[in-house]
Amino acid sequence: MSESEPAPKLFEAREPVFPKRVTGRFRNLKWVLLGSMLGLYYLLPWIRWDRGPNLPDQAILLDLGGRRFYFLMIEIWPHEFYFVAGLLIMAGLGLFLFTSALGRVWCGYACPQTVWTDLFILVERWIEGDRNARLRLHRQKKWDLRKVRLRLTKWFVWLVIGLATGGAWVFYFADAPTLLYDLVHLTAPPVAYITMFVLASFTFFFGGIAREQICIYACPWPRIQAAMMDEETLTVGYRDWRGEPRKRSEEVKAGATQGDCIDCMACVTVCPVGIDIRDGQQLECITCALCIDACDEIMEKTGKPRGLIDYLAVGDEASEKAGNAPRQIWSHILRPRTITYTVLWALVGLGIVFALFIRPDIEMTVAPIRNPTYVTMSDGSIRNTYDVRLRNKTGEPQLFGLSVAGDPTLQVELEGHDKVVVSVPADTSLLQRVYVISSPDSAPSLGEATKFRLWVEDMSTGERAYKDTTFNGKGN
Amino acid sequence: MSKPSKKQKGDPDTTGHVWDGIEEFDNPMPRWWLWTLYVCIFWAIAYTIAYPAWPMIKGATPGLLGWSTRGEVQAEIDAVNEGNAAINARLASTELTAIGDDGELNTFAVSSGSAVFLTWCAQCHGSGAAGAKGYPNLLDDDWLWGGDIEAIYLTIAHGIRTEEDDDARYSQMPAYGKDELLETVEITQVVNYVMSLSGAPKDATQVAAGAVIFEENCAACHLENGSGDREQGAPDLTDAIWLYGGDYDTIKSSVDNARFGVMPNWNTRLTEAQVRAVSIYVHQLGGGE
């Protein structure tokens, strides 16, 4: 152990961050994105979509009880869950694409953590004032009436936002108007209240208290992104070759020519994660671009060109230092890597759309009953039984006809029906016991196992589907 | 252990343990860790007071909340019974033949009957209802006492050869060999005749002699053509299905000793709704008429 150095501190307390208000094109873009994304999130469950009398009329509904997922005109059954897997692959590839082109653009603009934190900071600013006022309030030790009032108001509004967030979430899983009525009348299922409570708590904690710590310590994405960025990736950076030596630096005091940076700290005070972008790329930076807005405003005031802090690629540093003009944005974005990601993303998307179009309207699964493998009837014929599940994915009741092919001696009969036609109610599956009978002393009766094909036909459209299965005889 | 190094001013506290010059800090436990421990201790004590915990001579302390695993299971059973009370009452009061037309009731009866069957019936008839030697296969179209829903219900409710139930099914076949009602030769002849009924090739003279004996002794119950009589529970001897087996020795044994299968009367063990449910279940297995 060294004799002079004190023991290292293993715990670092959080430095509270008080982002200052900022205006500019990126801030405006973020307001628009925040409004539209939150609006979509809160409003989507309320959009209606007519699917006929037997199906729910909610445009987007995750019906866990009924095991259906409704998305506009698309209806997903549990065995079609691979569509969701496809969407997840698309989301993954989309993240690859955006990260390789624009770095942590997801973190800075679209991540719910960022969007809700932005909203919470906005509320904080409305109630407690801008950066300096909030700093004063924070440093004020005494909890006088004003501080208590401001804090309580802020927490109350945060809680309302949190409740609305959890509330909007549960509406995706049930008929929204009915659920809202039940929630208000305290007759909704407990799981709805529990979900709302949990989500409200997490929204409050993540957006109000934890904030950037979630991004820095809890989220794996900042660690993964490094593998997806390269020297062509556009990310928020500081043109130190233009800004340095900054005002108040030792070099300037020693007489060197001052760079464009006047060391006004505008970029630091607006930063929601509390870093100085002029120190270079940092793990904490979510590329929210607010420092660009802050700096551009100062540059305009001092009569210098904008873009001291800007979206730039690490690979351009040498060229720009040599005095060349910054490269065009599109030349960073359009390159083999991003094009490859786009093509892959589009291929998966096309695959999903294609699979959606070719998925059959009638489906059948056949499970031979092997307890017993066959039954001898009184006339000596041999009978096999099959549990056949017929799916009617339309909104109308459908008649399904069954028939066998493969051996002429095989006859098909249905339990509980005189004819080989069965009606399946709308949007359900039906389990039907199907008998296949072979006459005495025929080859299938005496043999061990005979392959045959069971056909199902939609009696109204004539659409057909089949399943291959086996008939067990006495030789079994 | 080597000696601890000289402590300097500002050095953190150590435990005094040194291994090859490596010392161990005497840091306090983190506060969050300690508080978690205290909360856990408090929780453990409160838990043992609230719930059954401490072993005593007879069982454990019951706990203030009065909770028990048995009570929980009973509550679940009660909840299920309560939930099914209405549909069970409907099942018990609906006309037997009308249950099949009521989709919801029929579905309930089949799944409830399946549970009853696997609990009470599968021991003899098998979990797949395929039966065994002496225990009828319930999947085929051959019935001793009738295969429509009402006949099946009567058989299940009152049982076969049940002494305590006056409505039980009774069939009576004399033990022709054991009680010496027929000569051994005559029994051989009638067995040959019976086997020929379902198409087995047999010696014509034996069959002809057997036919006479059959008409005198057996036709009263099994009818002249051997097709059996469901009123008396006499099996059809002309079909391909044999309850005990269709070979010569087995049939001879049946004629010699007669067979007396039994089944309990389930109306005293099961509720009316359960008897009806299992009747519906058996009826839809493939042989129902």
Whether residue B12 and residue A7 make contact (CB cut-off 8 A), yes or no, is: yes
Alpha carbon distance B139, B158 (integer Å): 21
Contact A171, A48 (CB under 8 A): no
- Does B1 score more than 70 pLDDT? no
> Among A3, A7, A379, whose Cβ lies nearest the Cβ of B240?
A379
Q: What is the pLDDT of residues B64-118, one digit of tens each?
A: 998 999 999 999 999 999 999 999 999 999 999 999 888 899 999 999 999 999 9
Whether residue A372 and residue B128 make contact (CB cut-off 8 A), yes or no, is: yes
The residue in chain A having the minimum alpha-carbon distance to the alpha carbon of residue B13 is A7
Encode chain A (476 residues) as per-residue pLDDT tens digits.
Answer: 445 666 677 777 888 899 999 999 999 999 999 999 999 999 999 999 988 777 889 999 999 888 889 988 888 888 888 888 999 999 999 999 999 999 999 999 999 999 999 999 999 999 999 999 999 999 999 999 999 999 999 999 999 999 999 889 999 999 999 999 999 999 999 999 999 999 999 999 999 999 999 999 899 988 888 788 888 899 999 998 888 888 888 888 888 888 899 999 999 999 999 999 999 888 899 999 999 999 999 999 999 999 899 998 988 888 888 888 888 888 888 999 999 999 999 999 999 999 988 887 788 999 999 989 999 999 999 999 999 999 888 878 889 999 998 888 899 999 888 889 999 988 888 899 999 999 998 999 999 999 999 999 988 888 888 999 999 999 87
Residue A400 has a pLDDT of 93
Contacts of A371 in chain B (CB under 8 A): 126-128, 130
- Does B256 score more than 80 pLDDT? yes
List the structure tokens of A82.
């691979």
Contact A376, B240 (CB under 8 A): yes
Residue A302: Cβ within 10 Å count: 11
- Does B2 score more than 80 pLDDT? no
Contact A424, A392 (CB under 8 A): yes
Residue B114 has a pLDDT of 96
CATH architecture of A362-472: Sandwich (2.60)
Domain range B83-169+269-289, its CATH number among 3.40.50.980, 1.10.3720.10, 3.30.1360.120, 1.10.760.10: 1.10.760.10
Q: Give B4's pLDDT tier (boundaries 50, 70, 90).
A: low
What is the distance in angstroms between the Cα of B109 and the nearest Cα belonging to chain A?
14
Interface of B with A (CB under 8 A): 5, 8, 10-12, 23, 25, 100, 126-128, 130, 137, 139-142, 236, 239-241, 284, 286
**Spatial CA neighbour of A288 closest among A13, A12, A17:** A17
> Among B10, B127, B142, whose Cβ lies nearest the Cβ of A378?
B142
Contact B84, B241 (CB under 8 A): no
Contact A114, A104 (CB under 8 A): no
> Among B126, B236, B284, whose Cβ lies nearest the Cβ of A378?
B236
Residue with tokens 């405006």: A28
Whether residue B130 and residue A7 make contact (CB cut-off 8 A), yes or no, is: no
Report the DSSP beta bridge partners of residue A437.
Answer: A383, A411
Residue A42 has a pLDDT of 93
Q: What is the pLDDT of residues B31-57, one digit of tens each?
A: 999 999 999 999 999 999 999 999 999
Please state the three-class secondary structure of B26-86 as a single string. Answer: CCCCCHHHHHHHHHHHHHHHHHHHHCCCCECCCCECCCCCCCCHHHHHHHHHHHHHHHHHH
List the structure tokens of A75.
């209806």
Contacts of B239 in chain A (CB under 8 A): 378-380
Alpha carbon distance A385, A398 (integer Å): 23
Contacts of A3 in chain B (CB under 8 A): 8
List the structure tokens of A396.
């109308």
Contact A272, A197 (CB under 8 A): no
Contact A441, A380 (CB under 8 A): yes
Contacts of B12 in chain A (CB under 8 A): 7
First CA to last CA distance, chain B: 91
Whether residue A375 and residue B130 make contact (CB cut-off 8 A), yes or no, is: yes
**Spatial CA neighbour of B281 closest among B75, B128, B173:** B128
Q: How many Cβ pairs within 8 Å bridge chains A and B? A: 54
Residue A126: Cβ-neighbour burial (10 angstroms; 0-12, 13-18, 19+): exposed
Residue A330: Cβ-neighbour burial (10 angstroms; 0-12, 13-18, 19+): exposed
Q: Give B177's pLDDT tier (boundaries 50, 70, 90).
A: very high
Residue A250 has a pLDDT of 83
A380 touches chain B (CB under 8 A): yes
Contact A436, A410 (CB under 8 A): yes
| DSSP strand pairing (A428-438 vs A309-313) | unpaired
Residue A315 has a pLDDT of 86
Task: Put residue A315 in one of left, alpha, beta given phi > 0 → left and psi -120 to 50 → alpha.
Answer: alpha
One-letter amino acid for residue A342 of the chain: T
Domain ranges of chain A: 25-46+111-220, 234-327, 362-472
- Percent of chain B residues past pLDDT 70, beyond the cut: 97
Dihedral pair phi/psi, residue A446, rounded to 5° = -85, -25
Whether residue B137 and residue A375 make contact (CB cut-off 8 A), yes or no, is: yes
Domain ranges of chain B: 1-44, 83-169+269-289, 174-259
The alpha carbon torsion through B145, B146, B151, B153 (nearest 10 deg) reads 80
What is the distance in angstroms between the Cα of A297 and the nearest Cα belonging to chain B?
45
Residue A3 has a pLDDT of 53
Alpha carbon distance B154, B160 (integer Å): 10
pTM of the model: 0.70
Whether residue B128 and residue A415 make contact (CB cut-off 8 A), yes or no, is: no
Residue B175: Cβ-neighbour burial (10 angstroms; 0-12, 13-18, 19+): middle
Whether residue B139 and residue A375 make contact (CB cut-off 8 A), yes or no, is: yes
List the structure tokens of A285.
């930076």
Q: What is the CATH number of domain B174-259?
A: 1.10.760.10
Contact A267, A256 (CB under 8 A): no
Please give the full DSSP string across B170-228, using - where no structure is assigned.
------TTTTTSS-HHHHHHHHHHHHHHTT----HHHHHHHHHHHHHHTHHHH-TTS--
Please state the three-class secondary structure of chain A as a single string. Answer: CCCCCCCCCCCCCCCCCCCCCCCCHHHHHHHHHHHHHHHHHHHHHHCECCCCCCCCCECEEEECCCCEEEECCEEECHHHCHHHHHHHHHHHHHHHHHHHHHCCHHHHHHCHHHHHHHHHHHHHHHHHCCHHHHHHHHHCCCCCHHHHHHHHHHHHHHHHHHHHHHHHHHHCCCCHHHHHHHHHCCCCCHHHHHHHHHHHHHHHHHHHHHCHHHHHHHCCHHHHHCCCCCCCCEEEEECHHHHCCCCCCHHHHCCCCCCCCCCCCHHHHCCCCCCCHHHCCCCCCCCCCHHHHHHHHHHHHHCCCCCCEEEEEHHHHHHHHCCCCCCCHHHHHCCHHHHHHHHHHHHHHHHHHHHHHHCCCEEEEEEECCCCCCEECCCCCEEEEEEEEEEECCCCCEEEEEEEECCCCEEEEECCECCCEEEECCCEEEEEEEEEEECCCCHHHHCCEEEEEEEEEECCCCCEEEEEEEEECCCC
A3 touches chain B (CB under 8 A): yes
Distances (CA, A) of A172 to A50, A166, A180: 17, 11, 12
Q: Select from B139, B148, B241, B284 the residue whose CB has the most chain A CBs within 10 Å, as the one to mutate to test that interface.
A: B139
The residue in chain A having the minimum alpha-carbon distance to the alpha carbon of residue B137 is A375
Contacts of B140 in chain A (CB under 8 A): 375-378, 383
The residue in chain B having the minimum alpha-carbon distance to the alpha carbon of residue A380 is B240
Alpha carbon distance A366, B42 (integer Å): 57
What is the distance in angstroms between the Cα of A413 and the nearest Cα belonging to chain B?
10
DSSP state for residue B144 in the 8-state scheme? S
**Spatial CA neighbour of A110 closest among A46, A38, A169:** A38
**Spatial CA neighbour of B228 closest among B219, B241, B240:** B219
Q: Select from B25, B33, B99, B141 the residue whose CB has the most chain A CBs within 10 Å, as the one to mutate to test that interface.
A: B141
Contact B170, B188 (CB under 8 A): no
What kind and span of H or E run contains B279? helix B272-283
> Among A7, A371, A375, whose Cβ lies nearest the Cβ of B140?
A375
Whether residue A433 and residue B141 make contact (CB cut-off 8 A), yes or no, is: no
Report the DSSP beta bridge partners of residue A69.
Answer: A62, A76
Query: Same fold for the domain at B83-169+269-289 and the one at B174-259?
Result: yes
Whether residue A416 and residue B284 make contact (CB cut-off 8 A), yes or no, is: yes
Alpha carbon distance B191, B207 (integer Å): 8
Contact A381, A437 (CB under 8 A): yes
Whether residue B141 and residue A435 make contact (CB cut-off 8 A), yes or no, is: no
